[in-house]
Amino acid sequence: MKIFKLPDLGEGLQEAEIVKWHVAPGEDVAADQPMVSVETAKAVVDIPAPYPGRIARLFGKAGDIAHIGAPLVAFEGESGTADSGTVVGSVESGGEVMAPQPAGPSPVAAGIKATPAVRALARKLNVDLAMVTPTGADGLLTAHDVQRAARILSEIGPMEVVRGARRAMAQNMELATAEVASATIMDDADIDAWAPGTAPMLRLIRAIVAGCRAQPALNAWYESEKVGRWLMKRVDIGIAVDTPDGLLVPVLRDCGERGVEDIRAALAKLIADARARRVPPEELRGNTITLSNYGSIAGRYASPVVLPPTVAILGAGRISRQVVVVNERPAVRRMLPLSLTFDHRAVTGGEAGRFLNAVIGDLQRPD
């Protein structure tokens, strides 16, 4: 048999969930015919046949997690021939299709205080000790604690395995929390001079470009292993989009060189495609800075999460009317709250402050 392995699906992606098979064992397929749909970190991708042939075996079923380089399809033919696939990219050495596992790290038992008998009870009841609140002396977990947790878990039913975009979000947040030295500064922009009908997202995109021009250190990638950074010439903004399947961050390219109407149309398409889950994988990578307009839902200030290799994310809160001091007198103005989180390994507090000042200055312009 000739083995076709799951190809490299793009930068940083190590696994994909099998969504649907389009072929079956014994079926003849043509080259480039779609064989299977898989859900990568943040998009659904169809993988075509690398060549014509007859399907001998399918590795995995819908819902399984397949790792890059793992066997995906076996074709009838000469034995010992393996095809790693060039449909989507290069492939690492083989592995095997595995059942989905919960996102996040395995519990570390080293810091948990429990007797061997209690640990054995937890294994028997399938309870993760890291989830259990201890009531014993000095934080010791008791048998009663484990039994209480088991009872609660039995009442709420089986665990929902996190998949697709939510799985990717969980893994990305774990990476960000483990690696980034995050710091957040907050301020407000007085947008009372905006004309009626002004689109906040378009103004925020323009303001980020202004901030990057004033302080290029925030439009950068950071390499933690080599302790270095790249200052990016283009401003490619990742736009955080809320969807029922989880958070997606498609990229709006080259924002500093595009006109308003061009960006307006591109932004509308980007958001629609994200919510329809039809964003190509390459459009979910390579941003140089991120924008989260969470205020369109709720909230004034936040601590947005910076995802490596980028070093900054700007969060925009809910616009509201507030009483502020204008020319030494109280006045009611429309205010836009802003929260800037940055990676303090790569960005100084002064750089972050100057960036935010430039953003606010651009937002407060009437045009």
Residues 193 and 323 in one domain: yes
Question: Which DSSP category does 256 fall into?
Answer: G
The CA-atom distances, in angstroms, between 255 and each of 238, 278, 288, 346, 353 are 11, 22, 11, 23, 22
List, for residues 44-99, the tens digit of each pLDDT value.
Answer: 788 899 889 999 999 999 888 888 889 999 999 875 444 544 444 333 323 333 34
List, for residues 344-361, the tens digit of each pLDDT value.
Answer: 999 999 999 999 999 999
Indicate whether 34 belongs to any domain: yes
Indicate whether 122 belongs to any domain: yes
Q: How far is the C-alpha of 69 from the C-alpha of 90, rounded, in Å?
A: 9
Is residue 13 very low, low, confident or very high in pLDDT (cuts 50, 70, 90)?
low
Among residues 83, 100, 130, the one where a domain terminates is 83
Indicate whether 233 belongs to any domain: yes
Number of neighbouring beta carbons within 10 Å of residue 100 = 15
Which CATH number covers residue 137? Answer: 4.10.320.10
Least confident of 74-78, 167-171, 223-227, 301-305: 167-171
Indicate whether 104 belongs to any domain: no
Predicted pLDDT of residue 95: 35
User: What's the mean pLDDT when you consider all of the chain?
Assistant: 86
Q: What is the pTM of this model?
A: 0.67
Q: How far is the C-alpha of 340 from the C-alpha of 256, rounded, in Å?
A: 20
pLDDT mean over 287-291: 96
Residues 181 and 250 in one domain: yes
Indicate whether 234 belongs to any domain: yes
Which CATH number covers residue 8? Answer: 2.40.50.100
Residues 254 and 305 in one domain: yes
List, for residues 118-132, the tens digit of each pLDDT value.
Answer: 999 999 998 989 888
Q: Is the peptide bond before 7 cis (omega within 30 degrees of 0)?
A: no
Residues 259 and 125 in one domain: no
Indicate whether 90 belongs to any domain: no
The CA-atom distances, in angstroms, between 138 and each of 20, 111, 119, 130, 173 are 50, 12, 17, 16, 31
Question: Is-contact 136 145, C-beta < 8 A?
Answer: yes
Domain with 17 in it: 2-83
Q: At residue 104, does pLDDT exceed 80?
A: no
Least confident of 87-91, 205-209, 299-303: 87-91
Among residues 129, 156, 183, the one where a domain terminates is 156
Q: What is the DSSP secondary-structure string of 181-222? A: -EEEEEEEEE-TTPPTT--HHHHHHHHHHHHHHH-GGGSEEE
Number of neighbouring beta carbons within 10 Å of residue 290 = 24
Q: How far is the C-alpha of 90 from the C-alpha of 161, rounded, in Å?
A: 29
Among residues 121, 138, 156, the one where a domain terminates is 156
Residues 181 and 150 in one domain: no
How many domains does the chain divide into? 3
Residues 6+ apart with CB under 8 A from 295: 315, 316, 317, 318, 319, 336, 337
